Structure formats: structure tokens, C-alpha cells
Amino acid sequence: MKKKFFILVSLSIALLCTSCFDDNDDVPQIASNTDVSSFVWRGLNYWYLYKSDVPNLGDNQFSSAEALNTFVTGFENPKTLFESLLSPIDEFSFIVEDYIQLEQAFDGITSTNGMDFKLVRYPNNRDLVFGYVRFVLPNTDAATKGITRGMIFNTINGTQITAQNSSQLLGDDTYTIGLATFDGENISPTETTFTLTKTQYTENPVFIAKTLTLGSDKIGYLMYNSFTANFNSELNAAFAQFKTDNITRLVLDLRYNPGGNTETAKDLASMITGQFTGSIFTTEEWNTERQNEFSGVNLFDTQLDTKETINSLNLSRVHIITTKSSASASELVINGLDPYVTITQVGAATRGKFQASVTVYDSPNFRRTNANLGHTYALQPLVLKLINSAGVTDYFDGLAPDILIEENLTDLGTLGDPNEPLLKAALDNISGTTTKKETTHYNKTMEEIGERKQYEDPTFQRMYVLP
């Protein structure tokens, strides 16, 4: 989706902008909460997908500029105003105080110790929480310290983890985890601890790319953990290797992929296929006032934004591994491909997000150029929803798997190993050992409450359009 957003906002909107410069010497001044709150209302009034659901965003809601000003200044801070202007069905729009950090996250840059984890409630005590390690990022402190997939921890800095204190405990740059064991019912602390320190890290989302041999067949396996545009060439290189290896089937592992850039999702779909160039991948639905300006049709294509030729496999079927952590752009790939190829979805149902957002800055046309220098607030509101070529969207409950098999915390297996339970289920289906109706349940009594990127990455479970 190559949206450039160069169209200027109408003059009436632009005139509402508040300058952050002194008229005499152009010295930047710190913006007040009133300035920022005015920007919040203007940005949502113009872009928000669900504007019609929010009366206070109506163009004629306020009788005068003074009435509007009274409204926006009646909130404690810009964040509370922003939250008051969201539709009840919107779980994903957000506001940030530092758009520099947000932009870095779009490029895959976050502060992390490298331990990717999931937090769940105790099966016999919902007040208590423990974490388990899903994977470890290479060349990080967690990798150096010997943290491995499947480790269980229930304390941080000697304090038992709960739903209430998890954000605070995990927010520190350095913390000490206390390990435990889990037998499926009981958590038993051990004496082992690890102290981990976060540093700025650029994460390559192409986590595993390998070719497996299954009888006479070559099966490509790709574990892809984020739709990060800066790594599209690395993604394309993985498919070049698959082509060289002459794979005939593909297992795409999106189990921990919370989403990201919509253009990358379309590129990935074009890498898997190749025979549908020029056909509709998705169409867009914006709010009624923006629909004619920005609505678009997104087509399968043959090039990355860098003009690099896409390495396409021309596959007619694909197995895709998903969990509740698979969201937004991960779901977009599945939904966009579904009318064209046979998809066998293995794992658990996805998150349920079909809307995309864009970064809105405090400038006359809401772009980064000429942004107000008096603050670094930015909005990331939902601005459009994506619809596949068959008209399917609004999958609020996620996309259900064909083969339901959940990760077993007592036997997670090794990622990329053919015997890892979810990958094995996909390979068994490819070989004809099992049918699509196989169902295996684990962890039925435990509630998930969070995961690593939720605490470290402001783009978590967001699908976005880059300007």
C-alpha cells in the first residue's frame, strides 16, 4: 500500500493550527496542553475511521471556536481527551508523547534485553502471574546469559508477579527474574536467578528460514515475527533461498507476529504466490469524508518499494501457524490470500484486527514535515479497514484455525525443529498423516495477560500505513 498522503488538509482545518514560534524571532516555544489538545481533536476529526460513532468529533458539534476550545481544555491532559474521542469498538488507536520512539519502533528498534516472553495467570490462583520464555533474540543480554525457550519465571527482583505489578516490574531497564518449574498445575520456585539489562536493539523479524525434507518433498519453513519494512530485503532473500532449494510447500509461522506495515504484508503475499500479479489483494474503507480522497485498491505486485524484484514461489497452497499473538498484518496476509490459494491454518485463533492506522503529526497537513516543534505528541488512530477481494473484513473474533493445537507450556519444543508440536502438526497434515480436523488443547485453564512487545514496543498489535 503505497499511500503518500501529500494532499493538504482543507484551509479551514489548517487555520486552526497553533504556531509554536514567537512572531519576532522564530524561537521554538513549549506547546501548552491546550495547543496539544487542539491538535488531538483536529487530527481525529479529519482522519478517524470511526468519526461518525463519536458525536464530539462532528463538524457541527460545536457552535463556535470558543465552544470547541472550552471542550478540548476540559480534560486533564491530551491523553484523556484522546481516549474520550474513541469509538467503543476501537481497541487499537493510541497517542504517544514521543514520536521519535514510535518512529524507531517502526524500524524495528526498541529497548530490550532479548527475552521474549508471555505472561499467564496461575491455573489455581488468578491473582498470581508467571512468565514463560518463547524465544531469545540473538546477540542480546538474554542470549549471553543463557536464557532459553521454555524457561519459567514467577518473580522479578524478588517480587511475585501479578497482573497489577507486571508493567512496573518489567518497565525497569535492569531486573532480576527468579526461575520456577511448572508441571501443568503447580508453580514451584527454584533458587536460580538471572539479571537482565535492556539496550537499544534492532530486531530482524526473519527469525528462522530453513528448508526441511519431508520424504521426497522440500518444505520451506519461515518464522516471521514482525512486518518491519526496513527488513523487506531480508525477507525477500529468504524466499530467494526457498526458490534455489526448489521447495514445493511452505509453512509460514506467524505465531508470535503482532503485525506491522501493510505494504510488507502485501509483499509477503506476493512472495508466496506470484501468479496473481495485478489482482486485488485488498481494498480500503476510510471514513465517509476521506473515502473519495484516499480509498485505494492494493494489488499483488512484483517489486518491493526499493524496486528490488520480488522472489515469488507461485504456490497454490500454504500452511500458516497462528496463535492469539498473531494480529493485524499477520491476519491481513491470511485474509488477503484466502480467495486465491488453499490456506491450512494451524494453531489457535488470531487476535482479530483488520484496521490500519497512520501517524498523525501536529502540522498543517498532519505530516512530519513542519511539525510543531513545541512538543513531540503524535496520534496513531485507526484510519481505514482492509477488505479482501471476496469482501471479507470485520473479523472481530479473529481467524479460526483449521487444525486447533495450542502450545503446551510443559513441552514447547524447539522452534524450527520438525518435532516442535505446532510445526509437526503442519508437516503431518502436509504428509497426509492427519486431517484438518485434528484438535489438541493445552493450557485451557490459564489466561494470558501480556507479552514482551506489549511492554517494549509502542506499535504492538498495530497495523499501520507508512507515509
Q: Say if residue 217 is in the same domain as residue 295.
A: yes
Q: Say if residue 358 is in the same domain as residue 341.
A: yes
Confidence at 245, pLDDT banded by 50, 70, 90: very high
Residue 165, pLDDT above cutoff 50: yes
411 vs 455, higher pLDDT: 411
Confidence at 296, pLDDT banded by 50, 70, 90: confident
pLDDT for 3 equals 42
Q: Which CATH number characterizes residue 348's domain?
A: 3.90.226.10
For the chain, the first-to-last Cα distance in angstroms comes to 10
**Domain final residue, candidates 172, 202, 232:** 202
Q: Say if residue 388 is in the same domain as residue 426.
A: yes
pLDDT mean across residues, the chain:
89
Q: Say if residue 21 is in the same domain as residue 130.
A: no
**Position 458 in a domain:** no
Q: Which CATH number characterizes residue 138's domain?
A: 2.30.42.10
Residue 384, pLDDT above cutoff 70: yes
Q: Say if residue 82 is in the same domain as residue 118.
A: no
**Position 75 in a domain:** yes
**Position 24 in a domain:** yes
**Position 411 in a domain:** yes
Q: Say if residue 228 is in the same domain as residue 180.
A: no
**Position 449 in a domain:** no
pLDDT for 94-141, tens place per residue? 999 999 988 888 787 889 999 999 999 999 898 999 999 999 999 999
**Position 4 in a domain:** no
Instruction: Determine the average pLDDT of the residues in 16-35.
Output: 54
pLDDT for 454 equals 73
Q: Which domain, by its residues, includes 182?
A: 112-202
Q: Say if residue 262 is in the same domain as residue 349.
A: yes
Question: What is the tally of structural domains in the chain?
Answer: 3
Residue 11, pLDDT above cutoff 80: no
**Domain final residue, candidates 184, 202, 220:** 202
The neighbour count for residue 65, using CB atoms within 10 Å, is: 11
Q: Say if residue 343 is in the same domain as residue 372.
A: yes
pLDDT for 188-220, tens place per residue? 999 999 999 999 999 999 999 999 999 889 999
| pTM of the full structure | 0.88
pLDDT for 109 equals 84
Instruction: Determine the average pLDDT of the residues in 236-264.
Output: 96
pLDDT for 457 equals 60
Q: Say if residue 227 is in the same domain as residue 345.
A: yes
**Position 405 in a domain:** yes
Q: Say if residue 230 is in the same domain as residue 375.
A: yes
Instruction: Determine the average pLDDT of the residues in 162-176.
Output: 93
Q: What percent of the chain has pLDDT over 70?
A: 89
**Position 466 in a domain:** no
Q: Say if residue 230 is in the same domain as residue 129.
A: no
Q: Say if residue 195 is in the same domain as residue 223.
A: no
Q: Which residue has the cell 512572531?
A: 23
